Structure 1
Amino acid sequence: MTFRLGLAQCTHPADGDVVALVERCARDAQAAGVDLLAFPECLMTPFEKTREDFLASAEPLDGAFARKMSRIAAAHGLWMIYTMNERADGVDAGEAPAGGETAEAAAHGNAPEAAGAHLPYNTAVVVDSAGARRGFYRKTHLFDAGDCRESERMAAGGRLFDPIDTPFCKLGLAICYDLRFPEVMRAAACAGCELFVLPAAWVDGPRKADQWAALLTARAVENEMYVAGLSRADERCIGCSRVVDPFGTTVAEAPGKAPLLLTADIDLTRVRAAREAVPVLEHRRPSLY
């Protein structure tokens, strides 16, 4: 089976109108025959905002921003992955949690951790072509390195994303810094994942683009699945979105930071062929690890 993936490599709009940006990208994706459209990390709220503004902008999973994203997906008949600044526990960011998780959140195992539980989550959401939410993931590994301290404004999620069935593939999901933790993608592969999508705001710097390409390729080869990484194209980020197949071949690549819609045709027979040729997942010996 073959389907078309679209990666909306974009910058945060100068006028702040993210909904209009998503609408334009969805319209272009529909015209390009895209089945599944993904957006980069920090789509709803750029990390560059002050901490106070970042916290104040957080919304619940069923808030106004999420409802607008669902309407756009339904209007264009697209499955979509978008990212949002999710308010913790349905209370205003900066306040103490007011009770337990919703039933859905509890089922996903994303109970807030003790440290930073009042902070919002960096969340990726999957909606189907009717606009119904099919899953969500709260970033589990926070980037506290160099001059960046994500833990000062975000809470860490408490569980990896369980790959979900879509009409196209078994879909896995993580966010940005998670790429440096191979256990994340291995867990998805062991759960049957065929396409793993990684929204990111991969910060530019010495060797960062090389590391991005190497890590995406390694995760695809070692898990024998498609891996798609899309990074924001803002000034501090690298862009360079790409899709790597299960044999390590880059099948689509964005040339640097230019905003664009990157498309790739995902052929699931290549996943099966890779796993039959070298059955890595069957040869694992977890008792030794």
Structure 2
Amino acid sequence: MAQRIFDQEFLKRLDSLSIVSRKVVTGRAKGERRSLRKGAGVEFQDYRPYVMGDDLRYVDWNIYSRLDKLFLKLFVEEEDLCLHLLVDGSASMGFGQPPKLEYALQVAAALGYIGLSNLERVALAHFAGELTRMLRPRRGRGQILPLLDFLSSVEAKGPTNLNGCLANYALRNRVPGVVVVLTDLLDPGGYADGLKALLQRRYEVFLLHVVSEEELRPQLRGDLTLVDAEGGDSREVSVDRGALERYQARLHGHFAEAERFCARHRVDYLRTSTAVPFQDLILRHLRRGGFLR
């Protein structure tokens, strides 16, 4: 899979990128990410006034002897970020050219590569009606091939249960961090409760909404039989200009609802068409949106 989606020039550009987190969660292991903290660390950075309850071991007594005031030493200390990549592998993700799932897997592979190259921990899962398979958090460039092997095994099949799968993932993983949910949001049961479950477990949530060009601009006319990719139900329809206009209105209402929910709950949201080259999504749109730098 690496040879199919990553050429050397793209790899070089990925090597210069890193994940941006609004809040870094300290884990048991340490990576390259650093933050200002009191106490022993790797590099002295600054002072701040002592407040009741601070550890006296980190008071600078030389300053106290000169100023008769207590100041605490601050150091730059390594912190750890865990990147969680959750890929919707339900049957509807197999729709389009290229299929939405193929596009989502390419994006997930690139983000996983960036995380592992920066010594972040990276976890993977794909889901449909349930959590199908999970890869526990791992670190280092040596984990890139296992990550790609995992992603190459994902197939689009089965119904969707976004709420149940996201809530289940939040409960089963005790290492919060940045979670990227790659999905088409096509679930009659909705997605709000699942995203809220991640937020309640202190995940920083980024929702990548993948839409095919065929869904955005369907080239359909006449009397047709439409079949639900997941439920198998069929419906006879007559498609004319009026039907397409009603479809567009409902589609953009669906988009607007997702945008409002994410803005209200501080979920980072980006909608992308599969017509946008995934390299451009990574190198331009995700950087412009502040998710990568």
Which TM class, normalised by the smaller chain length? 0.3 to 0.5
Could you tell me the TM-score, scaled by structure 2's length? 0.33
Could you tell me the TM-score, scaled by structure 1's length? 0.33
The structure that is helix-richer by fraction is 2
